[in-house]
């Protein structure tokens, strides 16, 4: 098999999940420590004080054991059993995780044949459309499940705002234990650390993982060691392993709000799933079950033992006051430094997960095309998105400055996490039958067990809405509305693009076609240059449908090369080509319709990037697929395309290929990129007074909001480089 054939085969396959073994798996497992676990790994900083307030009464021995039992079993059932051993099995075939990835599993996106991009003629062909993909589920469930998954995604993004704010502020606040005089500067110091973190995001996930993984490893090791030391002060804390102690706590106290504090111990477990695209399933399973989980259990048991042993003297700050040794001693400052570093890395976990989720939304056309920078030579999921990075930084700084203390932030934290967890449970339960093909009762059993647990936490978090949890809820709702709006508007535009795709020979009509009628395309092999005329199927101004007026006028062929970019994949010629001919009634000697495909490999040799198809019925027209690796820059080499065209022509017509090759090379010295630019117009529907208001609102959303945003973030953002020698053809789209 030739290199080109192998590449074409790769084009027709999806990006696959990362598969590594042996030493590479151990390396990737170590890297997960620096990205995924610092969120859940820094929870010991504030969880116990989230259950028992620093200013409240000292809990009894049985209450402490019951609270620790609730924490231990929450860690066991949710992060370990639910996420690590079940949910990670439900990532997409590309290795992506998160609630939106679950939706893609239920309604997988359609796959476009590579040859379709280069099919420009033919009386019958499929047109590109954005209708929902086929699935075993009813199409009526497409929108409800999309809204559910996007709401979970939106709340995960909102969680990406509060995780850095809570964890960093809690860590920095420990300085007040040793240096009470600087307690008022905690907010300013926290903001400075967070700003510094966002400034280094452009260095890439892989580099940050190598820098952060050793820190997280030491941090978790310190938690385990100090936990073991603290457990010796009250070995009876091991009774917390008995789950009945947790049940008896709530039966005895009837304090449902305690569960909201326990919820803080599992914040970050959604990051295990959302970050699946950054690593792989096996590396996450190994690192959590073998190292992270036992370290956290030991840390919490140790804090509980010290609370029982020392009582009121440690309640004011259960993490820092339970560090073995004196409060201003060497171990205290070592733990303080590593706590700050670990919380910065916890922030990194959610920032990275945010990039991964936004990448999924952009690829599925649910968000504008923000510029993405791929930072890994091996893993496509590792991206840096500058605009999202700076937006996150601004919002997080505002949140930290507004709430001012870790206690206030903790009250607002947790609701988003609980809502995402129950959303994930519902979507995974549906996948048991419709994706994995398992009996329906298995999905029902999964939902009843974990849905009950998630529902308990969600109910407790719901009670925190008046105390600050309304902020992440508000952010999540705003994000959901924004994503749904863009999905709706882009779907309308894509439907227009599909409905206006043309057979090339319905636009360009040869002289012989006029005199003798259309000939069968397969029988047309003439290389004589025909008389070319324009056959325009003009769309109606009201609904975009084709009218009956046909305009024919001669087109002069000029010795230049024009490259028409097809923004969406599929057969046919984009409407922008007909618009171009209407405005400039001249036909370039060499016309190339270029489609871009980003493949699941980091880089592709420049000599193996182009597939070329010749339009046999009209001389000088070619369909070209330009294949890129996800780390390659968009850089169309017209010379290379022309060389491929000359090779194709030499095989089709060996006798005249030399003269034709010389002519094409001369023509290609002057070339222009032509990119469509949609000017959208809202399609008004007739009706009464209510319809007038609906049309006004629709026009506002489509023409004022969507048009402006799409202009700021054009489709070419992530694959078109220099703006030199580019003509943007405006197309009026009634959507």
Mean pLDDT (the chain, rounded): 79
User: What is d(CA 186, CA 8) in angstroms, rounded to the nearest whole number?
Assistant: 57
Task: Give the residue among 38, 37, 28 at the shortest CA–CA distance from 338.
Answer: 38
- pLDDT exceeds cutoff 90 at 9: no
DSSP calls for 683-719: -----SHHHHHHHHHHHIIIIIIIHHHHHHS-GGGGT
- pLDDT at residue number 122: 58
Backbone φ and ψ for 111, nearest 5 degrees, come out as: -100, 130
Helix (H, G, I), strand (E, B) or coil at 456: helix
Residues 229 and 351 sit within 8 Å (Cβ to Cβ): no
Higher per-residue confidence, 33 vs 8:
33
Please state the pTM of the whole predicted model.
0.76
Neighbouring C-beta atoms of residue 515, cutoff 10 Å: 8
Helix (H, G, I), strand (E, B) or coil at 546: strand
At 446, is the pLDDT very low, low, confident or very high (cuts 50, 70, 90)?
very high
Tokens 């020392």 -> residue: 310
Residues 251 and 69 sit within 8 Å (Cβ to Cβ): no
Higher per-residue confidence, 5 vs 183:
183
Residues 438 and 432 sit within 8 Å (Cβ to Cβ): yes
The highest-confidence range among 346-350, 480-484, 494-498, 640-644, by mean pLDDT, is: 480-484
* Helix and strand numbers, DSSP H then E, in the chain: 29, 12
User: What is d(CA 322, CA 312) in angstroms, rounded to the nearest whole number?
Assistant: 12
Q: E strand or H helix at 645, and its extent?
A: helix 638-652
Q: Looking at 479-488, 490-499, 631-640, 648-657, which range is the least confident one?
A: 631-640
Joined together, the tokens standing for residue 269 give 């477990």
Q: Does the domain formed by 3-105+144-490 have CATH 1.20.1740.10?
A: yes
Higher per-residue confidence, 374 vs 422:
422
Task: Give the residue among 173, 167, 303, 307 at the shortest CA–CA distance from 226.
Answer: 303
- pLDDT at residue number 29: 84
Backbone φ and ψ for 151, nearest 5 degrees, come out as: -65, -40
- pLDDT at residue number 545: 43
The model's pLDDT over 165-174, given as tens digits with 9 standing for 90+, comes to 877 887 777 6
The highest-confidence range among 53-62, 177-186, 635-644, by mean pLDDT, is: 53-62
Which residues share a beta bridge with 563? 592, 673
Joined together, the tokens standing for residue 272 give 């295990």
- pLDDT at residue number 131: 45
- pLDDT at residue number 526: 39
CA 156 to chain centre: 11
Q: Looking at 14-23, 35-44, 154-163, 685-694, which range is the least confident one?
A: 14-23
User: What is d(CA 404, CA 319) in angstroms, rounded to the nearest whole number?
Assistant: 20
**Is 123 exposed, middle or buried, given 0-12, 13-18 or 19+ CB atoms closer than 10 A?**
exposed
CA 569 to chain centre: 21
Helix (H, G, I), strand (E, B) or coil at 545: coil
Backbone φ and ψ for 548, nearest 5 degrees, come out as: -100, 0
| Mean pLDDT, range 88-110, rounded to an integer | 73
Which residues share a beta bridge with 206? none
User: What is d(CA 313, CA 735) in angstroms, rounded to the nearest whole number?
Assistant: 67
**Is 331 exposed, middle or buried, given 0-12, 13-18 or 19+ CB atoms closer than 10 A?**
middle
Higher per-residue confidence, 724 vs 622:
622
Helix (H, G, I), strand (E, B) or coil at 366: coil
Domain range annotation of the chain? 3-105+144-490, 500-734
DSSP calls for 588-623: EEEEEEEEEEEESSS---GGG-EEEEE-SSSTTEEE
DSSP state of 200: T
- pLDDT exceeds cutoff 70 at 377: no
User: What is d(CA 166, CA 43) in angstroms, rounded to the nearest whole number?
Assistant: 10
- Those residues with Cβ within 8 angstroms of residue 509's Cβ, 6 or more apart along the chain or in another chain: 532, 533, 534, 535, 552
User: Between the CA of residue 60 and those of 52, 252, 311, 674, what are the distances in Å?
Assistant: 11, 12, 9, 75
At 66, is the pLDDT very low, low, confident or very high (cuts 50, 70, 90)?
very high
- pLDDT at residue number 536: 45
- pLDDT at residue number 720: 58
Sign of the Cα pseudo-torsion (542, 481, 269, 339, in order): positive
At 376, is the pLDDT very low, low, confident or very high (cuts 50, 70, 90)?
low
The model's pLDDT over 232-282, given as tens digits with 9 standing for 90+, comes to 999 999 999 999 999 999 999 989 889 988 998 998 787 778 777 667 788
User: What is d(CA 494, CA 128) in angstroms, rounded to the nearest whole number?
Assistant: 8
End-to-end, the C-alpha distance of the chain in Å comes to: 45
User: What is d(CA 98, CA 89) in angstroms, rounded to the nearest whole number?
Assistant: 12
Residues 336 and 177 sit within 8 Å (Cβ to Cβ): no
At 293, is the pLDDT very low, low, confident or very high (cuts 50, 70, 90)?
very high
Give ∠ CA 326-331-337 in degrees, rounded to 5.
Answer: 120
Q: What is the largest CA-CA distance in the chain?
A: 101
User: Between the CA of residue 662 and those of 58, 137, 371, 455, 653, what are the distances in Å?
Assistant: 90, 56, 39, 72, 14
- pLDDT at residue number 538: 45
Edge-to-edge strands, sheet with 556-566: 610-614, 621-629, 586-599, 556-566, 671-681, 726-734
- pLDDT at residue number 471: 87
Which residues share a beta bridge with 554? 533
User: What is d(CA 601, CA 377) in angstroms, rounded to the nearest whole number?
Assistant: 9
User: What is d(CA 479, CA 197) in angstroms, rounded to the nearest whole number?
Assistant: 24
Joined together, the tokens standing for residue 497 give 């693009």
The β-bridge relationship of strands 532-534 and 508-510 is antiparallel
Backbone φ and ψ for 552, nearest 5 degrees, come out as: -120, 125
| Mean pLDDT, range 121-130, rounded to an integer | 49
């Amino acid at each position: 098999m030739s290199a080109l054939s192998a590449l074409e085969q790769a084009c027709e396959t999806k990006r696959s999940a990362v598969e590594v073994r042996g030493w590479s798996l151990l390396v990737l497992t170590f890297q997960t420590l620096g990205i995924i676990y610092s969120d859940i790994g820094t929870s010991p900083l504030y969880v116990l004080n989230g259950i028992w307030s620093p200013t409240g009464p000292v809990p009894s021995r049985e209450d402490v054991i019951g609270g620790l039992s609730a924490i231990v079993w929450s860690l066991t059932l949710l992060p370990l059993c639910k996420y690590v051993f079940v949910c990670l099995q439900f990532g997409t075939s590309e290795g992506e995780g998160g609630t939106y990835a679950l939706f893609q599993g239920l309604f997988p996106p359609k796959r476009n044949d590579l040859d379709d991009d280069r099919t420009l003629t033919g009386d019958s062909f499929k047109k590109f459309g954005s209708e929902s993909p086929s699935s075993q589920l009813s199409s009526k469930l497409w929108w409800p499940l999309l809204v559910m998954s996007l709401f979970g995604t939106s709340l995960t993004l909102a969680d990406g705002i509060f995780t850095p704010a809570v964890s960093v502020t809690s860590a920095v606040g420990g300085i007040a234990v040793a240096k009470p005089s600087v307690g008022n500067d905690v907010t300013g110091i926290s903001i400075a650390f967070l700003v510094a973190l966002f400034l280094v995001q452009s260095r890439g996930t892989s580099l940050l993982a190598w820098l952060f993984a050793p820190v997280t490893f030491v941090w978790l090791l310190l938690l385990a060691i100090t936990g073991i030391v603290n457990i010796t002060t009250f070995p009876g804390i091991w009774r917390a392993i008995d789950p009945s102690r947790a049940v008896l706590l709530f039966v005895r106290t009837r304090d449902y709000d305690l569960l909201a504090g326990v919820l803080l111990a599992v914040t970050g477990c959604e990051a295990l799933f959302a970050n699946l695209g950054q690593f792989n399933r096996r590396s996450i399973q190994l690192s959590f079950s073998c190292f992270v989980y036992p370290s956290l259990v030991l840390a919490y048991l140790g804090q509980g033992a010290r609370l029982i042993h020392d009582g009121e003297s440690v309640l004011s700050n259960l993490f820092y006051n339970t560090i073995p040794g004196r409060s201003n001693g060497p171990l205290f400052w070592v733990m303080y430094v590593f706590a700050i570093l670990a919380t910065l890395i916890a922030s990194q976990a959610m920032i990275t997960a945010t990039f991964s989720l936004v990448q999924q939304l952009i690829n599925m056309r649910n968000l504008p095309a923000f510029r993405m920078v791929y930072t890994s030579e091996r893993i496509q999921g590792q991206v840096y998105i500058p605009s999202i990075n700076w937006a996150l930084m601004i919002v997080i700084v505002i949140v930290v400055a507004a709430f001012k203390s870790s206690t206030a932030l903790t009250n607002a934290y947790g609701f988003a996490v609980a809502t995402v967890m129950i959303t994930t449970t519902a979507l995974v339960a549906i996948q048991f039958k419709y994706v994995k093909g398992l009996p329906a009762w298995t999905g029902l059993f999964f939902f009843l067990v974990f849905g009950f647990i998630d529902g308990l936490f969600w109910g407790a978090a719901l009670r925190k809405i008046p105390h600050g949890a309304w902020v992440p809820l508000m952010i999540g709702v705003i994000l959901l509305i924004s994503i749904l709006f863009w999905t709706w508007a882009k779907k309308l535009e894509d439907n227009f693009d599909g409905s206006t795709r043309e057979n090339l020979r319905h636009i360009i009509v040869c002289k012989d076609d006029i005199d003798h009628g259309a000939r069968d395309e397969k029988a047309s092999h003439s290389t004589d240059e025909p008389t070319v005329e324009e056959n325009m199927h003009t769309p109606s101004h009201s609904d975009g449908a084709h009218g009956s007026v046909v305009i024919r006028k001669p087109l002069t062929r000029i010795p230049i090369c024009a490259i028409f970019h097809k923004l969406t994949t599929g057969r046919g010629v984009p409407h922008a080509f007909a618009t171009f001919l209407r405005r400039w009634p001249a036909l370039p000697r060499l016309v190339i319709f270029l489609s871009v495909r980003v493949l699941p490999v980091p880089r592709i040799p420049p000599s193996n990037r182009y597939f070329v198809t010749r339009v046999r019925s009209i001389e000088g027209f070619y369909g070209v697929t330009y294949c890129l690796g996800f780390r390659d820059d968009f850089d169309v080499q017209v010379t290379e395309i022309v060389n491929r065209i000359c090779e194709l022509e030499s095989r089709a017509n060996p006798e005249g290929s030399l003269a034709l090759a010389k002519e094409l090379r001369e023509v290609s010295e002057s070339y222009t990129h032509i990119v469509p630019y949609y000017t959208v117009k809202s399609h008004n529907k007739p009706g009464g007074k209510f319809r007038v208001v609906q049309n006004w609102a629709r026009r506002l959303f489509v023409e004022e909001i969507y048009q402006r945003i799409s202009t700021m973030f054009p489709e070419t953002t992530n694959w078109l480089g220099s703006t030199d020698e580019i003509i943007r053809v405006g197309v009026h789209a009634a959507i």
